[in-house]
Every structure is written in structure tokens, then in C-alpha cells.
Structure 1
Amino acid sequence: MPDQTVGTAGATVRPARRLDLDRARGIAILLVVFGHVVAQQVPPGVEWYEPIRYLLYRFHMPFFLYLSGTVVVLSGLLAKPPGRVVRGRAERLLVPFFGIGLLILAAKLIALQLVHVDNPPEGLAGGLRDLFWTTRHSPATSVWYLLVLFLCTLVAMGLRRVGVGATGLVALGVALQFLDVPPVAYLDRFASHFLFFAAGLWVAEREDGLLPAFERWQPGWWVAFAAGLALAALGWIGPRWSMVLCGLLCIPALHGAMRVAPIARWHWPLVLGSFSMAIYLFNTLAIGGTKAVLMKAGIGWTEAWFPLHVVAAMVAGVALPVLLKVLVLRRVPAVDRLTD
């Protein structure tokens, strides 16, 4: 995902890598790919998948927004001139947002003539409308994070310049949970996820005291996080507030786990973390293409073949974007920067 180089805010030298954040990004991107294995409906007989995906969506994207908020503070981004920040964020986030969205739409319109397509667009005009405006029906829903992160950064920067601190931003994030924002231009997702971006700002400004607590009390954080997931699974808390609860409780559990053994010694999450932006941008295309090829080969979307679809989708969703990045995108400097 964006903003991978971080360090101490205000540093006068190039910040050191924060391996805990890189590992967190690498593990979290696997959760993103798993969440995209099924675009809409599971095959009959595989009803167990949807409850798992529901619980996954209680915390995995909130955790990504938390990581992004943390990086914004540690990189000193909010202290830079506003015009420079807006231009940089627009290039970094909006160019991929529009580019990948249009690529997915075009790919689906072409593929519709040949194979089965999940979440198909209603023609070119309808697809463009749903892609950027009536986004409840977007044919490329996965791009929402890029626009929401852009909006979060701008809102946080603007409010901080008029004296609103991280605590005030967290309060705003809580207040937004009470609003019924329509699904227009992903503003509903901004309202539901700004809290976690603000939580990243809040923790980053206090990490000298908080991170040791995340590490020291790992068992307790995981018990609390598991309890939140259990409440969500039982339906005792609705979708919105279960995401607030699980999204906040996952922060000390997951971030703390990245800083203690054995995860703190794992290398593979660092590798995935370094490719997380490319995986995020291209995993849905890879998964959709893989599913179409399997079905064309006679491996149906059925209960019997579902495990093979899951394995193939996970492998393709990770490996194909990495290969694309290494073999193609790195040869084009401008595109290489956008997909780092």
C-alpha cells in the first residue's frame, strides 16, 4: 500500500525502515486477497465462507487505514506545505484510483463477451457511473481505499491547521459513525473508516508509551479482539459498530504481534509488504482472470471445486501482481513509483 518509508517524525535524515509496519502490511495484504476470493455469491454448500469474510471485513481494512495514519505522522507528511501534499497525494493515490478503476471496467466489458464475470458493469456508461459516483454498485469496488486515504489525509491536514489535534480527529471519526452517508463517490466508506486513520495519527504521536504496552499485554489484547469478533459473529452488535469495536481492538493485538517473537523474526511478510501496493492494485484482476480460466477449463464454481478455486485465487492474487511489478512495471519509472 502507499507510504512504505517511515521513521521518526521531524527527522533530518532519511527515516529508517519500520519493519513492524512493513510486516503488518505484508500480513494484512494476504487478508485483502482472501477477502477478494469471492466477489459476490459463494457456490451452494459453501455457506461457511461468508461468515468468515464478514468477520474479516470487521477489521482488515480498518487496520490498513490505521497503518496509513501512522505512516502519515511518522513521515512528517502533515507538516509539509499543503499545496505540495495535495499534489503529491493526488499523484500517489488518485492516479492509480482512476487508472485501475478504468482498467478493471475495460477488462470486465471485454471479458463479458467471452467468460463469466463477477459483478459485471451495466455497459460503458453505467459502468462509469457506478465506478465513480453510484459506488454501491461499482464494478471495481476494491479501489475505494485509494480515494478514502486521499480524503482522510486532506481532512486531517486541514483540521490540524486550524488547531484540531489527533484526539479531536478521533472524536470526529466517532461522530461520523452516527451519520447515514449515502454510497456516493465512496463517501460512505470515508465516513466509516476515517476513525481508524485518525487512530493511526493518535497512536503514532504517542507510540513511545503505547507500543511497549501493545507488546507487553499481547494475551489480553488478543482476548479482547477475539471477544469483539465473537460479538460480531453472534450478531449481538450490528455491522457498523462491530467494525468500530473490532477495528479498534485489532490495533494493539495486530500491531503488537508484529513487534514480538515469533512474527518479529519472519522475513516473508517484509517481502509481501514491499509489494503490497502492486498486490492491492492488481489482485482482483488476477483473481477474476484465474476464476474465468478455471471455469472455462471445466472446473466449475461448485462446492467440490471451491477449495481449488480458493488456492488458485490466493496464489494468483499474490504472485501475478508481484511478477507484473518485477518484470514489467519496474521498467517504466513513472509507473514503478506509483506502484511502490
Structure 2
Amino acid sequence: MNRIVFLDIAKAICIILVVVGHYMPDNSPMWYVMLNKVIYTFHMPLFMFVSGYVYIATKKDISYGSFLMKKVKRLMIPYFTTSVIVITIKLLTQDFMLVEHPVTLLSFFEILYLPVAGYFLWFIWALWWMFVILPFFKTKTSRDVLFLVSILLHFIPLEVTSLFCLEQFRGMLVYFMFGIFAFENRWLYYFIVNFKWSKLVCAVLLFISMEVIYFLNMDENINIVLPFIGIWFIIEASKSISKGWGEVNKNSWLMLVSASSYIIYLFHTTFEGITKAMLHRIPFNSGLWYVFVFESITVVLMGVIIPMILHRWVLKKYKITRILFGL
């Protein structure tokens, strides 16, 4: 249970970072720009790591067809549902409200091979391809080999098409496989699962020092290891939080965020955009730092809270919405 709890906490932290990272107004002060860049050094690799870890930890012996159908229901049907909804909202509002990345009627067709409703939806395509290939690697040895191949695919410069988000799949497979590798190798498994305050301190210090070195020198070699250090940092922080709770509390706000993380990911940019458009109609002086902070907190909160409400009180309530959103 402790393992599950700290992974849920890590997922909750990560989705909050995603929502923050996707809010970057033109008038952002330097400190916010730097915060955004720090988030982008590791947040999606962390999502992939957790996905790979959970996949192998909960892997069941079912047929390939049944497994793939589960992923169609969990990933692709919600992808197309969300894409249609977002494109429709944009078409209805972009003529009189501020809409980033406007769409056309052709966008309804383009979603079959590109995440045109919102670039952030590349994550679903990339995860889909990972689940398509992983069942063919039935042994630990074969998965270790795939991990090595994923490292090569990530670091060797290759020209891969962006259609069906195959480029993102190539770049992110290594973190998904790292999650699998961490679970299947006992020495790394126990390093990740066991919590010690000294490990948290080391993770925090290493993360801060590597981020400082990266942003001072923009050293590409540091950028290679930053995602892995960020993963370790958030995992250790999540274990610290889970240890502090003692008994598992499913109604704590982090666990509620984690439970709604997929719906938050699907809809956060929509509600962020709506909130931002409404705030722009209020005569605030966004050049003032405290006004910017207020706007940022409001936009981010709406990007998290409204999808959570939508998930808990609407989408889970009806059979048709549970089907359309993979619930």
C-alpha cells in the first residue's frame, strides 16, 4: 500500500506541475519563466516513469487483443472524445474570445493522426504505442534489451515523423522503460521503495545543484541526466509525504487530485484558457507582480479543480460518460 500511495502522490504532484507548466502568458516575469523551465526538465519523463512502473507492477496474463482493447477504452476513446469537445469549444468561441492555437473544421479529421485539439495530447499517442509494443516483450531479459534500445533511440539523432506522435514516442520510451527496469531489478526497486531522510536530502541537493548548473551554463550533458534526477527527487518527496500521513487517507486532496489526474490532463488547458479569457476582460494591471500571481493561481486552480469536479460529479455518474472518458 505504501508503494501505491507514494506513486499516487507523485502522480498528483506531476499533474499539478503540468497545469502550471502549460500556463505561460506573454507577460510572465523572469522567476516564473525559470520555474516553467525547471518543470519542463522532468515532469513528462516522471509521468512516463510512473506509467511504466505501474504497468509492470500490475501486469496480468491476458491475451494481446484483450489488453489492447482495454487500452483503446482507457486511452484512445477519451482522446477522440476530448479532441472533439475541445475543437468544438474553440470553434464556437475563437471569434470573440482569446483562444490559443485556433482550429478549423478540418481539425476534426486531423485528430486521427495529430493532436491538433491541443499539443499536450501527444502524451496519449506516445503511451498508446508503448502499450502496443510492450506485450511482445514477455520476459525480463527481453524488456532489459528494450530498455537499452530505448536509450539508443532517445540519444541517437534520428529523423522520425511527427505523425501519430511517433517522434514523441521515440523520445519518451526510455522513461517508460526505466519505470519497468526499476520495478524488475531488486537493487533499484528497493532503492526506490525504501525511504530514508538522507536519500531525500541527497535528492533535493542534487536536483537543485543540477538545475542551477544547467541554467547557468545551459550544458546539454546536464540536460541528459536532469529528467532522471527529477524523477528521483519527486519520488523521494512523495515517499516523505506518504510517511508523514501514516494511515492511508483516500480523501486527502493529493489523493483526490491523483484519482482525477487523467481527466485533469485531458481538460486542464480548456479550463485554463476559459479562465484566462475571462480574466482578460477584467481591467487588471497584469504588469504588477501581485496581479500576475493572483491571475496565475486562479488559472492554475481552475485548471485543476474544475476537471476534478467534472470527473467526480459528472463523468463518473453516467455510463455513457464513463465509456467516453475511459472511467
The TM-score bracket by the shorter chain reads 0.7 to 0.9
- Counterpart residue number, 1:209: 190
Q: Among the aligned pairs, what percent are the same residue?
A: 21
- Equivalents in 1 of 2:288, 2:162: separation in Å? 33
- Counterpart residue number, 1:187: 166
- Counterpart residue number, 1:57: 40
- Equivalents in 1 of 2:223, 2:129: separation in Å? 20
Over 6 Å off, 4+ runs: none
- Counterpart residue number, 2:22: 36
Distance 1:244 1:80, change over 3 A: farther
Moved more, 201-210 or 145-154: 201-210
- Counterpart residue number, 2:148: 171
- Equivalents in 2 of 1:220, 1:257: separation in Å? 11
CA-atom RMSD in angstroms: 2.7
Measure how far apart 1:134 and its partner are. Answer: 5.6
Distance 1:120 1:243, change over 3 A: farther
* Residue type at the aligned position of 1:285: T
Moved more, 268-277 or 329-338: 329-338
- Equivalents in 1 of 2:77, 2:21: separation in Å? 24
**Structure 1: segments with no counterpart, 5+ residues:** 1-6, 8-15
- Equivalents in 2 of 1:253, 1:162: separation in Å? 29
- Equivalents in 1 of 2:121, 2:114: separation in Å? 14
* Residue type at the aligned position of 2:269: T
* Residue type at the aligned position of 2:275: T
Contact conserved, 2:200 with 2:237, CA < 8 A, in 1? yes
- Equivalents in 2 of 1:290, 1:30: separation in Å? 16
Distance 1:290 1:29, change over 3 A: same
1:69 aligns with 2:91: no
Aligned with residue 297 of structure 1, among 282, 294, 300: 282
How many pairs align? Answer: 315
- Counterpart residue number, 1:3: none
Distance 1:163 1:48, change over 3 A: closer
1:274 aligns with 2:259: yes
- Counterpart residue number, 2:92: 110
Aligned with residue 85 of structure 1, among 64, 67, 72: 67
Bigger proportion of residues as helix: 2
Contact conserved, 2:195 with 2:240, CA < 8 A, in 1? no
1:19 aligns with 2:5: yes
Distance 1:183 1:263, change over 3 A: farther
Distance 1:129 1:47, change over 3 A: farther
Moved more, 206-215 or 185-194: 206-215
**Structure 2: segments with no counterpart, 5+ residues:** none
- Counterpart residue number, 2:132: 154
Contact conserved, 2:9 with 2:242, CA < 8 A, in 1? no
- Equivalents in 1 of 2:223, 2:258: separation in Å? 24
TM-score for both structures, normalised by structure 1: 0.83
- Equivalents in 1 of 2:112, 2:285: separation in Å? 32
1:226 aligns with 2:194: no
Distance 1:111 1:319, change over 3 A: same
TM-score for both structures, normalised by structure 2: 0.86
Contact conserved, 1:59 with 1:243, CA < 8 A, in 2? no
Partner SS, residue 124 of structure 1: coil
Distance 1:24 1:163, change over 3 A: closer
Moved more, 255-264 or 141-150: 255-264
Moved more, 172-181 or 294-303: 294-303
Measure how far apart 1:52 and its partner are. Answer: 2.0
Moved more, 298-307 or 87-96: 298-307
Q: Deviations over 1:284-315 (max 9, x none)?
A: 11101101111123347655542222011111
* Residue type at the aligned position of 1:248: F
Contact conserved, 1:115 with 1:296, CA < 8 A, in 2? no
